[in-house]
């Protein structure tokens, strides 16, 4: 794996932003920012990008909240993560999750962010096969339930990693505002067997979604490790309950390439969604045009580096150069995050005054 080199004289730094201006929200938020990020801790076999002296991942996540999607900028509410550091024990939580929460809360204040403790049973070596997980803003979202789906390990004939499913509820809303987020890290590689396994995992996810209420708002996130056409996308987009849609119509434009930060050439990271999310008819509604690959707006040449000169994707940030470097290995990841905004399509619960 090729490793990036930070340009001489470029130092790591976080924004210093008053807590109140960053995380203050109304009792019931009306917009949620949801991101998917392969953070590469498993590949790098450590949490240095999260906790090291030059850690870039917390700064990248903070910058995602300061970056404008259209006219809106707000801290991330939900972050689905892949390639966490493997625990080699499928009954405990990856150490990456508490490490990242601690790093974020050092920026935002104690208790602002939390992680779901449901173990991802993915295991099989400390490198390359790490589990997935979820981090969320406790002021805006709560986890109602979480589960891992069917998992068969590295058998060679089914999904090598366990998809995760989370039921989430915005703070200040009732159960009619619940929505579901899946996170998966599909099998990599381009052999027919690799493609078959990705298709099997998509089918597992769709079969699970079919057990949800028919009106459920669902987002399918993850490092899908491919682009259409192949079985996983055919299975995700098959007609019926839970049919997945891409708000960018599965474009192959380099504007949506997310891998690799050192050699940009693949669209591997996605936020797919059910029709009621895309068409603004459910409890969670996609903000049209808001989906972006954070750090890529098409100004980086194909096969170029994310931190190359001429990348204008983060021009609204005063420390754009630093963040583009933070996106690179070993300070960050070989993937860029996907980020999008969603509005809540139901009314909040009435405020009950105490006194």
* pLDDT of 314 strictly over 70: yes
pLDDT at 212: 98
Mean pLDDT confidence for 188-202: 89
Taking the C-alpha atoms of residue 335 and residue 353, their distance in angstroms, rounded to an integer, is 46
- The predicted structure's pLDDT at residue 125: 55
pLDDT in tens, 21-77: 343 444 578 999 999 999 999 889 899 999 999 999 999 999 999 999 999 999 999
**230, 186 Cβ separation under 8 angstroms:** no
Say which range, 16-25, 140-149, 188-197, has the weakest mean pLDDT.
16-25
- Stretch 253-270: mean pLDDT: 96
- Contact criterion met (CB below 8 Å) for 102 and 87: no
* pLDDT attached to residue 1: 32
CA distance 187 to 161: 8
pLDDT class for 16, splitting at 50, 70, 90?
Answer: very low
pLDDT for the residue numbered 305: 96
Which of 344-347's residues contact partners 24+ apart within 8 Å by CB, and which partners? 344/28, 344/29, 344/30, 344/31, 344/32, 344/170, 344/173, 344/177, 344/283, 344/284, 344/285, 345/280, 345/281, 345/282, 345/283, 345/284, 345/285, 346/173, 346/174, 346/176, 346/177, 346/283
- Rounded CA gap, 266 and 264, in Å? 6
* DSSP-based three-state secondary structure for 64: helix
Q: With a cut of 60, say whether residue 18 has pLDDT above it.
A: no
pLDDT > 50? residue 10: no
Instruction: Summarize pLDDT for 199-248 with one digit per residue, the tens.
Output: 989 999 999 999 999 999 999 999 999 988 898 999 999 999 999 999 99
State the pLDDT at residue 161.
78
Is the pTM for the entire model greater than 0.85?
yes
Over range 151-157, report the average pLDDT.
Answer: 52
Judge contact between 117 and 136, C-beta under 8 A. no
CB count within 10 Å of CB 157 equals 10
Q: With bands split at pLDDT 50, 70 and 90, how would you rate the model's confidence at 270?
A: very high
Q: What is the largest CA-CA distance in the chain?
A: 66
Q: What is the residue whose two structure tokens read 């709560």?
A: 142
Task: Give me the mean pLDDT over the 181-196 stretch.
Answer: 90
Question: How far apart, in whole angstroms, are the C-alpha atoms of residue 324 and residue 340?
Answer: 19
Q: Distance (Å, rounded) from C-alpha 162 to C-alpha 171?
A: 28
Helices 96-108, 57-66: crossing angle, 10 deg rounding: 50
Q: State the average pLDDT for the chain.
A: 89
Dihedral angle, C-alpha 199, 201, 202, 207, nearest 10 °: 120
Q: What is the DSSP string of 261-311?
A: TTS--B--EEEEE-HHHHTT-SSEEE-TT--EETTBSS-SPTT--TTSTT-
Q: State the pLDDT confidence band at 124, using cuts at 50, 70 and 90.
A: low
User: Which range (16-20, 62-66, 134-138, 256-260) has the least confidence?
Assistant: 16-20
* pLDDT band at residue 123 using 50, 70 and 90 as cut-offs: low
Range of 83-92, 192-201, 254-263 with top mean pLDDT: 254-263
Which two tokens mark 1? 């794996």
DSSP of 85-98: PP-S-TTS--THHH
Between the alpha carbon of residue 74 and those of residues 8, 29, 160, the distances in Å are: 31, 11, 35
């Amino acid at each position: 794996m090729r490793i990036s080199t930070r340009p001489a004289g470029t130092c790591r730094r976080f924004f210093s932003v008053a807590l109140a201006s960053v995380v203050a929200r109304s009792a019931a938020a009306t917009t949620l920012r949801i991101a998917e990020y392969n953070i590469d801790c498993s590949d790098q076999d450590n949490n240095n990008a999260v906790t090291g002296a030059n850690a870039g991942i917390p700064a990248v996540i903070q910058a995602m909240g300061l970056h404008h999607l259209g006219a809106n900028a707000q801290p991330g509410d939900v972050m689905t993560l892949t390639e966490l550091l493997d625990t080699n024990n499928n009954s405990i939580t990856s150490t990456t999750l508490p490490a990242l929460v601690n790093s974020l809360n050092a920026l935002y204040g104690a208790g602002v962010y939390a992680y779901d403790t449901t173990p991802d049973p993915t295991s099989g070596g400390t490198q390359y096969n790490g589990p997935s997980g979820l981090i969320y803003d406790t002021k805006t979202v709560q986890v109602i339930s979480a589960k891992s789906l069917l998992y068969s390990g590295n058998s060679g004939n089914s999904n090598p990693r366990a998809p995760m499913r989370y039921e989430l509820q915005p703070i200040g809303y009732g159960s009619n505002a619940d929505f579901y987020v899946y996170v998966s890290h599909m099998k990599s590689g381009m052999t027919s067997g690799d493609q078959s396994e990705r298709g099997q995992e998509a089918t597992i996810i769709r079969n699970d979604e079919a057990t949800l209420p028919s009106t459920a708002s669902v987002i399918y996130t993850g490092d899908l490790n491919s682009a259409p056409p192949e079985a996983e996308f055919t299975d995700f987009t098959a007609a019926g309950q839970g049919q997945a849609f891409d708000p960018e119509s599965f474009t192959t434009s380099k504007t949506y390439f997310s891998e690799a930060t050192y050699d940009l050439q693949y669209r591997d990271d996605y936020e797919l969604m059910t029709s009621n999310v895309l068409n603004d008819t459910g409890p969670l509604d996609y903000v049209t045009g808001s989906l972006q690959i954070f750090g890529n707006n098409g100004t980086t040449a194909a096969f170029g580096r994310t931190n190359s000169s001429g990348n204008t994707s983060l021009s609204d940030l005063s420390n754009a150069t630093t963040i583009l470097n933070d996106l690179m290995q070993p300070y960050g990841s070989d993937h860029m995050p996907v980020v999008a905004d969603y509005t809540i399509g139901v009314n909040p619960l009435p405020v009950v005054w105490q006194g």
